[in-house]
Structure 1
Amino acid sequence: MRLRTVRTALAAATAALSAAACLTAAGPAAAHPNGSWENACSPSVSVRGFSDALDKTTYENTFVGNFSALAPHRDGTLAALSDRSALFTLDARTLRPRGVVPLADENGAALDSEGLVVDRDGTYLVSSETEPSVRRYSRDGRILGRLPVPDALRVAPAGRAAVNGTFEGLTLLPGGRTLIASMEYALSGDSAGIVRLQTWNRGRGGFTPGAQYAYRADAGLGVPEVTATPDGRLLVLERGFTAGVGNTVRLYLADPRHATDVGGTAYLTGQDGVRLVGKTLLADLADCPDLGATAKQPQPNPLLDNIEAMTVTGRGRGALDVLLASDDNQNAAQTTRFYSLRVRANG
């Protein structure tokens, strides 16, 4: 059940990461004299291995899959969120489930749970794209609170968001004071591809809405996940699907620190003076070596699937250890697959 082509081990995380211990690969990807990486997808990204060990399995009568988010616990295990209201704890080395907690809204209804943060006190912040919402849950799945959401980001007719197009990514910046949620697609009235990133600032009374930024996704793609890097930038997944062709999955490095706060801008249609979140392509994952992976449906690279979850698990020697997971949608033509990457985020 280990990631293929590499060994894995638990290692102490650096102080800049929110977890004290998490999954890391046993050493960096091998560098060749010409500067390329072994199993390189690009000069910035190498794929260290993958695992299909959890595909179409169950644990305690719960389907293991539909993964939409990952986050490290302080004890070195991994939290893995299903978009069907289940929160798993996984062994970081073997990926075997160690526990599962059901989640629900205030009325006991299931969530379309998409984003996940393990906060510094061990509680969970979970986004649902149904409304959308961000709720805080106890370790045993009790609702402890709910964050305010700007009206425009709500699903129409309450707001201007499309169904299944709201909060997908959720991440906490280093220091724990700023939370960021990414919309998957543009609001009605905004230019196509302009995705809003909503922030909340932590104060004595909890999180309150902060600045909002605009990020331009590539044509035809949405944003299923964002993850903070130790220096306060973001790793951003962009993803799309074309029937008969397969998935497009690209990894970007984004920097919101110099972007315009667009929270007061009703419609983003290319106005002068609006500075978008800057982004740099790290890799198109179709360019990765396939490592012998197989696909159940057409893909530009058989390694690809519906990749939706991402977390940083460690860093060292100028690179980050990044773990991805795909959402199989409980579909026979898709796979629950984990990917171990090394990412140079120095751009």
Structure 2
Amino acid sequence: MRLRLALQLIPALLLGGAAYGVDVRSATHLGSFAWHHDAEWFGGWSGLELSDDGQSMTVLSDRARIATARIPRVDGRIAAVEDLRHWPVRSSGNSDLQGRAGDSEGLAIAPDGTIYISFEAVPRVARYAAMGGPAEVLPRAAAFRDQPINGSLEALAMDGQGRLYTMSETARSPDGRIPVHRWDGRSWTTPFTLPERGGFAPVAADFGPDGRLYVLERAATLIAFRSRLRRWEVTEDGVGGEETLFATPHGRHDNLEGLSVWRDAEGALRATMVSDDNFFGLQRTELVEYALPD
């Protein structure tokens, strides 16, 4: 029954995109790597950044923990996760974040190594000069004040000009679109919105080496999770060229929440994602990779 339902969803998802005039491109699933570790703090991975060559990663847990690791590959595919190191995500007073204040979700890393993290339950974006160091909280946008407690600033990305973009999982504009908030180093603005389609909500974002904005989305049901990846061209006038790269049936992957887009040794675009297991034994932590069309 579950397999039949999943198969029935595939044409419905594709036709749904076509009905909205969205270009549906074909991404290819390259593989999924089950990542295990026995430490009590391990899990809840919600943010992800890969190095330019895909050989190392930084991951962020939604329980105020950040970690780095190497990713050995065989024929381009993930073979292991090694040299795992971790640090607490700390407050501006250099103390460990606790409770709702430590609900860290989105991750972006500047070329100089500066780390930016978005928080959900207490909506804000913070800057970190080093792993495990104190936070410098950016001024809060007025739009952050009325965010849902469990549906706030999930996604965070940095463009080629060093500007930050964040969006809420569930807060919407009056016309039902997804507001995208941008920090230019001085102030927050909301330069554009994205269309919400098919019950998916944004959980991660990244600017790829092609300069396009990629948004990973999730739909949760009683059966399992579904995932979707869309992208846009971003200009000073807004966004355009919306493309749906993949939309999965229920249960294809676990709860994908972190996203990093990069180019492999052959120059092909890849999307790497990590799942949030919610520290729940029936879920799993996995690294999932797709080859993307240029």
Q: 1:177 aligns with which of 162, 183, 205?
A: 162
State how far apart, in whole Å, the 2-side matches of 1:164 and 1:277 are: 29
Equivalent residue in structure 1 for 2:109, among 114, 118, 143: 118
What is the match of residue 166 of structure 1? 152
Matched, 1:340 2:289: yes
Equivalent in 249, 257, 275 of residue 308 of structure 1: 257
2:71 to 92, 101, 108: 92
| Counterpart residue identity of residue 129, structure 2 | S
Structure 1 length normalisation: TM-score? 0.68
Find the residue that maps to 1:64 and give its secondary structure.
Answer: coil
Counterpart of 1:281 (choices 222, 240, 244) is: 244
- Whether the 8 Å contact between 2:179 and 2:190 is mirrored in structure 1 is no
Cα RMSD, aligned residues only: 2.4
Give the Å deviation of 1:104: 2.7
C-alpha separation between the residues in 2 aligned to 1:259 and 1:200?
A: 16
* Identity within the alignment, %: 26
| SS at structure 2 position matched to 1:63 | coil
Q: Deviations over 1:237-261 (max 9, x none)?
A: 1211111x2212111112332655x
Matches within 5 A, 1:322-337: 322-337=271-286
The answer to whether the 8 Å contact 2:182/2:188 transfers is: yes
Does the aligned pair in 1 maintain the 2:117–2:126 contact within 8 Å? yes
Cα pair distance change 1:144/1:152, threshold 3 Å: closer
1:4 corresponds in structure 2 to none
Partner of 1:240: 219
Post-superposition offset of 1:73: 4.7
Aligned-pair CA distance for 1:229: 1.7
- Residues 189-242 of structure 1 deviation map (CA, whole Å, 9 limit, x = unaligned): 6234x211111114xxxx532443211222322100111022321111121111
Say yes or no: does 1:58 pair with 2:7. no
CA distance in 2, matches of 1:242, 1:235: 23
Change (3 A) 1:305 1:118: same
> Given the superposition, is the C-alpha separation of residues 209 and 72 from structure 1 closer, same or farther in structure 2, using an over 3 Å criterion?
same
Distance 1:222 1:259, change over 3 A: farther
> Counterpart of 2:231?
253
Other-structure match for 1:11: none
Report how far residue 120 of structure 1 moved: 2.1
Q: Any gaps of 5 or more consecutive residues in structure 1?
A: 1-41, 155-159, 261-275, 287-299
Structure 1 residue aligned with 2:60: 81
Q: What is the aligned partner in structure 2 of residue 133 from structure 1? A: 124
Supply the distance in 2 between the matched residues of 1:74 and 1:343 (Cα, whole angstroms): 16
Structure having the higher helix fraction is 2
Query: What is the Cα deviation at residue 315 of structure 1?
Result: 4.3
User: How many residues are aligned here?
Assistant: 258
Deviation at 1:318, TM superposition (A): 6.4
The runs of 4+ residues in structure 1 deviating greater than 3 Å are 73-76, 315-319
The DSSP-based 3-state class of the residue aligned with 1:70 is: strand
| 1:201 paired to 2:203 | no
CA shift in 2, pair 1:97/1:128, >3 Å: farther
Q: Kindly provide the amino acid, as one letter, of the partner of residue 328 in structure 1.
A: D
Q: How far did residue 153 of structure 1 move?
A: 2.2
- Give the deviation of 1:144 after TM superposition: 4.4
- 1:101 paired residue among 87, 109, 116: 87
Q: 2:18 is matched with which residue?
A: none
CA contact (8 A) 1:215 1:277 kept: no
Q: Give the distance between the partners of 2:167 and 2:83, measured in 1 at CA.
A: 28
Deviation readout 1:328-347 (Å, 9 max, x if unpaired): 00112211111121111x4x
> Where does structure 2 lack aligned partners over 5 or more consecutive residues?
1-23, 73-79
**Which has the larger Rg?**
1
Picking from 31, 47, 50, the partner of 1:69 is 47
Query: Aligned partner of 1:306: which letter?
Result: N
Is the alpha carbon distance of 1:144 and 1:43 closer, same or farther for their aligned partners in structure 2, counting shifts above 3 Å?
closer
Confirm whether residue 223 of structure 1 aligns to residue 202 of structure 2. Answer: yes
